[in-house]
Protein backbone atom coordinates (compact mmCIF):
# COMPACT_ATOMS: atom_id res chain seq x y z
CA UNK A 1 0.00 0.00 0.00
CA UNK A 2 1.49 3.32 -1.07
CA UNK A 3 0.12 6.64 -0.01
CA UNK A 4 -1.58 7.00 -3.38
CA UNK A 5 -3.41 3.70 -3.77
CA UNK A 6 -5.08 3.12 -0.42
CA UNK A 7 -8.39 1.37 0.12
CA UNK A 8 -10.60 3.67 2.20
CA UNK A 9 -13.84 2.66 3.92
CA UNK A 10 -16.31 5.57 3.99
CA UNK A 11 -19.26 5.05 6.34
CA UNK A 12 -21.93 7.74 6.04
CA UNK A 13 -25.70 7.40 5.73
CA UNK A 14 -25.76 10.50 3.51
CA UNK A 15 -25.21 9.07 0.03
CA UNK A 16 -24.34 12.45 -1.50
CA UNK A 17 -21.69 13.02 1.17
CA UNK A 18 -20.02 9.62 0.74
CA UNK A 19 -20.14 10.02 -3.05
CA UNK A 20 -18.43 13.42 -2.79
CA UNK A 21 -15.75 11.98 -0.49
CA UNK A 22 -15.12 9.15 -2.95
CA UNK A 23 -14.58 11.65 -5.77
CA UNK A 24 -12.26 13.78 -3.61
CA UNK A 25 -10.08 10.82 -2.66
CA UNK A 26 -10.02 9.45 -6.21
CA UNK A 27 -7.89 12.50 -7.12
CA UNK A 28 -5.10 10.95 -5.04
CA UNK A 29 -5.61 7.49 -6.51
CA UNK A 30 -7.47 6.05 -3.53
CA UNK A 31 -10.29 3.53 -3.88
CA UNK A 32 -13.36 3.69 -1.64
CA UNK A 33 -15.79 1.25 -0.09
CA UNK A 34 -19.07 2.86 0.95
CA UNK A 35 -21.29 1.86 3.86
CA UNK A 36 -24.67 3.40 4.73
CA UNK A 37 -24.84 2.33 8.37
CA UNK A 38 -22.65 1.10 11.20
CA UNK A 39 -23.39 -2.60 10.76
CA UNK A 40 -22.52 -2.48 7.08
CA UNK A 41 -19.33 -0.59 7.95
CA UNK A 42 -18.23 -3.35 10.33
CA UNK A 43 -18.98 -6.07 7.79
CA UNK A 44 -17.00 -4.29 5.07
CA UNK A 45 -14.12 -3.61 7.44
CA UNK A 46 -13.67 -7.27 8.40
CA UNK A 47 -14.27 -8.53 4.85
CA UNK A 48 -12.04 -6.05 3.00
CA UNK A 49 -9.57 -4.78 5.64
CA UNK A 50 -9.20 -1.22 4.31
CA UNK A 51 -6.14 0.94 4.94
CA UNK A 52 -8.15 3.77 6.50
CA UNK A 53 -11.68 4.29 7.83
CA UNK A 54 -13.78 7.45 7.58
CA UNK A 55 -16.72 7.28 10.00
CA UNK A 56 -19.63 9.66 10.21
CA UNK A 57 -20.51 9.99 13.90
CA UNK A 58 -24.29 9.95 13.38
CA UNK A 59 -25.34 6.76 11.55
CA UNK A 60 -28.25 4.32 11.94
CA UNK A 61 -27.95 0.90 13.63
CA UNK A 62 -24.50 1.66 15.05
CA UNK A 63 -23.04 5.16 15.29
CA UNK A 64 -19.46 6.01 14.38
CA UNK A 65 -18.23 5.81 17.97
CA UNK A 66 -19.71 2.32 18.41
CA UNK A 67 -18.15 1.13 15.16
CA UNK A 68 -14.75 2.47 16.22
CA UNK A 69 -15.00 0.82 19.64
CA UNK A 70 -15.75 -2.58 18.10
CA UNK A 71 -12.92 -2.29 15.61
CA UNK A 72 -10.45 -1.24 18.32
CA UNK A 73 -11.22 -4.37 20.32
CA UNK A 74 -9.21 -6.28 17.70
CA UNK A 75 -7.42 -3.72 15.50
CA UNK A 76 -5.41 -0.83 16.88
CA UNK A 77 -3.44 0.09 13.79
CA UNK A 78 -5.93 1.08 11.07
CA UNK A 79 -6.39 4.89 11.13
CA UNK A 80 -9.88 6.21 11.91
CA UNK A 81 -11.06 9.66 10.82
CA UNK A 82 -14.36 10.85 12.32
CA UNK A 83 -16.78 13.15 10.46
CA UNK A 84 -19.36 15.17 12.35
CA UNK A 85 -21.65 18.14 11.94
CA UNK A 86 -20.78 19.11 15.51
CA UNK A 87 -17.81 21.13 16.66
CA UNK A 88 -18.38 20.13 20.27
CA UNK A 89 -15.12 19.47 22.16
CA UNK A 90 -16.93 16.80 24.20
CA UNK A 91 -17.66 14.91 20.99
CA UNK A 92 -14.00 15.13 20.03
CA UNK A 93 -12.82 13.88 23.39
CA UNK A 94 -15.12 10.88 23.09
CA UNK A 95 -13.78 10.15 19.61
CA UNK A 96 -10.12 10.41 20.58
CA UNK A 97 -10.74 8.49 23.80
CA UNK A 98 -12.11 5.41 22.01
CA UNK A 99 -9.32 5.26 19.48
CA UNK A 100 -10.05 7.81 16.76
CA UNK A 101 -7.00 9.33 15.09
CA UNK A 102 -8.45 12.54 13.70
CA UNK A 103 -11.63 14.58 13.48
CA UNK A 104 -13.15 16.62 10.66
CA UNK A 105 -16.16 18.89 11.13
CA UNK A 106 -18.68 19.26 8.29
CA UNK A 107 -18.67 21.11 6.00
CA UNK A 108 -15.04 20.67 4.95
CA UNK A 109 -13.11 21.26 1.75
CA UNK A 110 -11.78 18.53 -0.47
CA UNK A 111 -8.25 19.81 0.06
CA UNK A 112 -8.58 19.58 3.84
CA UNK A 113 -9.94 16.03 3.64
CA UNK A 114 -7.14 14.93 1.32
CA UNK A 115 -4.49 16.47 3.56
CA UNK A 116 -5.87 14.72 6.66
CA UNK A 117 -6.16 11.39 4.87
CA UNK A 118 -2.65 11.72 3.46
CA UNK A 119 -1.19 12.49 6.89
CA UNK A 120 -2.95 9.51 8.50
CA UNK A 121 -1.80 7.13 5.77
CA UNK A 122 1.80 8.37 6.03
CA UNK A 123 1.89 7.81 9.77
CA UNK A 124 0.32 4.36 9.42
CA UNK A 125 2.85 3.39 6.77
CA UNK A 126 5.79 4.60 8.88
CA UNK A 127 4.48 2.69 11.90
CA UNK A 128 4.01 -0.48 9.84
CA UNK A 129 7.52 -0.25 8.38
CA UNK A 130 9.01 0.34 11.82
CA UNK A 131 7.13 -2.64 13.24
CA UNK A 132 8.28 -4.87 10.38
CA UNK A 133 11.95 -3.95 10.82
CA UNK A 134 12.00 -4.02 14.63
CA UNK A 135 13.05 -7.06 16.68
CA UNK A 136 10.16 -9.34 17.59
CA UNK A 137 10.39 -8.42 21.25
CA UNK A 138 11.47 -5.07 22.65
CA UNK A 139 10.31 -5.19 26.23
CA UNK A 140 11.07 -2.58 28.85
CA UNK A 141 10.66 -3.60 32.49
CA UNK A 142 10.48 -1.41 35.57
CA UNK A 143 9.02 -2.82 38.76
CA UNK A 144 5.86 -4.76 37.89
CA UNK A 145 5.42 -2.80 34.65
CA UNK A 146 6.28 -4.24 31.24
CA UNK A 147 6.01 -2.15 28.05
CA UNK A 148 6.51 -3.47 24.53
CA UNK A 149 8.29 -0.54 22.90
CA UNK A 150 7.32 -1.73 19.42
CA UNK A 151 3.59 -2.23 19.97
CA UNK A 152 2.85 -0.17 23.07
CA UNK A 153 1.26 -3.19 24.76
CA UNK A 154 1.48 -2.91 28.53
CA UNK A 155 1.37 -5.53 31.27
CA UNK A 156 1.23 -4.94 34.99
CA UNK A 157 2.20 -7.83 37.25
CA UNK A 158 1.78 -10.09 34.22
CA UNK A 159 -1.74 -8.93 33.36
CA UNK A 160 -2.57 -7.05 30.16
CA UNK A 161 -3.54 -3.40 30.68
CA UNK A 162 -6.23 -2.37 28.18
CA UNK A 163 -5.15 0.91 26.61
CA UNK A 164 -6.55 2.85 23.68
CA UNK A 165 -4.30 3.13 20.58
CA UNK A 166 -3.18 6.65 21.51
CA UNK A 167 -2.50 5.64 25.12
CA UNK A 168 -0.42 2.73 23.82
CA UNK A 169 1.56 5.06 21.55
CA UNK A 170 2.27 7.40 24.46
CA UNK A 171 3.57 4.47 26.53
CA UNK A 172 5.68 3.22 23.62
CA UNK A 173 7.27 6.64 23.15
CA UNK A 174 7.99 7.08 26.87
CA UNK A 175 9.39 3.53 27.12
CA UNK A 176 11.68 4.07 24.13
CA UNK A 177 13.80 6.38 26.32
CA UNK A 178 13.08 5.64 30.00
CA UNK A 179 13.93 8.49 32.32
CA UNK A 180 13.94 11.02 29.48
CA UNK A 181 11.50 13.90 29.79
CA UNK A 182 9.03 14.44 26.94
CA UNK A 183 7.20 17.75 26.77
CA UNK A 184 3.57 17.89 25.69
CA UNK A 185 4.81 19.33 22.42
CA UNK A 186 7.23 16.42 21.96
CA UNK A 187 4.46 13.87 22.47
CA UNK A 188 2.02 15.59 20.11
CA UNK A 189 4.65 15.84 17.37
CA UNK A 190 5.78 12.23 17.87
CA UNK A 191 2.30 10.69 17.96
CA UNK A 192 -0.04 12.99 16.02
CA UNK A 193 2.46 14.79 13.78
CA UNK A 194 3.80 18.33 13.59
CA UNK A 195 0.66 19.56 11.84
CA UNK A 196 -1.15 19.16 15.18
CA UNK A 197 1.25 21.23 17.30
CA UNK A 198 -1.20 24.13 17.46
CA UNK A 199 -4.23 21.95 18.21
CA UNK A 200 -6.10 21.54 21.49
CA UNK A 201 -4.99 17.94 22.10
CA UNK A 202 -5.00 17.45 25.87
CA UNK A 203 -1.99 15.26 26.67
CA UNK A 204 -2.72 15.63 30.38
CA UNK A 205 -6.08 13.87 29.86
CA UNK A 206 -4.38 10.90 28.21
CA UNK A 207 -1.78 10.73 30.99
CA UNK A 208 -4.52 10.82 33.63
CA UNK A 209 -6.33 7.92 31.95
CA UNK A 210 -3.13 5.90 31.64
CA UNK A 211 -2.33 6.39 35.31
CA UNK A 212 -5.84 5.36 36.33
CA UNK A 213 -5.26 2.05 34.55
CA UNK A 214 -1.77 1.15 35.75
CA UNK A 215 -0.71 3.18 38.79
CA UNK A 216 -1.27 1.70 42.28
CA UNK A 217 -1.95 5.27 43.43
CA UNK A 218 -2.61 7.66 40.50
CA UNK A 219 -2.21 10.68 42.81
CA UNK A 220 1.37 9.52 43.54
CA UNK A 221 2.45 8.04 40.21
CA UNK A 222 5.24 5.50 40.35
CA UNK A 223 5.65 4.79 36.65
CA UNK A 224 4.40 7.70 34.51
CA UNK A 225 5.89 10.68 36.28
CA UNK A 226 5.36 14.41 35.88
CA UNK A 227 8.37 16.70 35.71
CA UNK A 228 6.81 20.02 36.61
CA UNK A 229 6.88 22.70 33.90
CA UNK A 230 8.73 20.26 31.61
CA UNK A 231 6.62 17.22 30.73
CA UNK A 232 6.44 13.51 31.46
CA UNK A 233 8.88 10.62 31.86
CA UNK A 234 8.72 6.89 32.43
CA UNK A 235 10.45 5.67 35.57
CA UNK A 236 13.81 3.96 35.01
CA UNK A 237 16.01 1.55 36.95
CA UNK A 238 17.48 4.31 39.09
CA UNK A 239 13.99 5.23 40.26
CA UNK A 240 13.38 1.60 41.20
CA UNK A 241 16.64 1.45 43.15
CA UNK A 242 15.68 4.57 45.09
CA UNK A 243 12.20 3.20 45.78
CA UNK A 244 13.54 -0.15 47.00
CA UNK A 245 16.12 1.51 49.25
CA UNK A 246 13.52 3.87 50.70
CA UNK A 247 15.32 7.03 49.59
Whether domain 139-245 has CATH 1.10.3720.10: the reply is no
Q: CB of 142 within 8 A of CB of 240? A: yes
Class of domain 7-132: alpha beta
CB-based contacts of 236: which residues, under 8 Å, 6+ apart? Answer: 142, 178, 179
Q: What is the DSSP string of 84-99?
A: ES---HHHHHHHHHTT
Identify which has the larger pLDDT, 86 or 142: 142
**Domain ranges within the chain, ordered by starting residue:** 7-132, 139-245
Q: Give how far the C-alpha of residue 73 lies from the chain's centroid of Cα atoms, to the nearest Å.
A: 13
Q: Give residue-wise pLDDT tens across range 168-224.
A: 989 999 998 888 899 988 898 888 877 777 776 788 999 999 999 999 999 999 999
Q: Give residue-wise pLDDT tens across range 125-159.
A: 877 776 666 554 578 888 889 998 877 889 998 88
Amino acid sequence: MSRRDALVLVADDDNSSSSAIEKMLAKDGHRCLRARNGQEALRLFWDERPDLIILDVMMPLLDGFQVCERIREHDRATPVLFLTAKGDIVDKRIGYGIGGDDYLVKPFSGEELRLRVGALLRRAQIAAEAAASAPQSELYHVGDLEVNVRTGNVRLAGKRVELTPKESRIMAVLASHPGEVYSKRDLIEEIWGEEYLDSSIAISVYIRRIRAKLEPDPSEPRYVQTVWHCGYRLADEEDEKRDSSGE
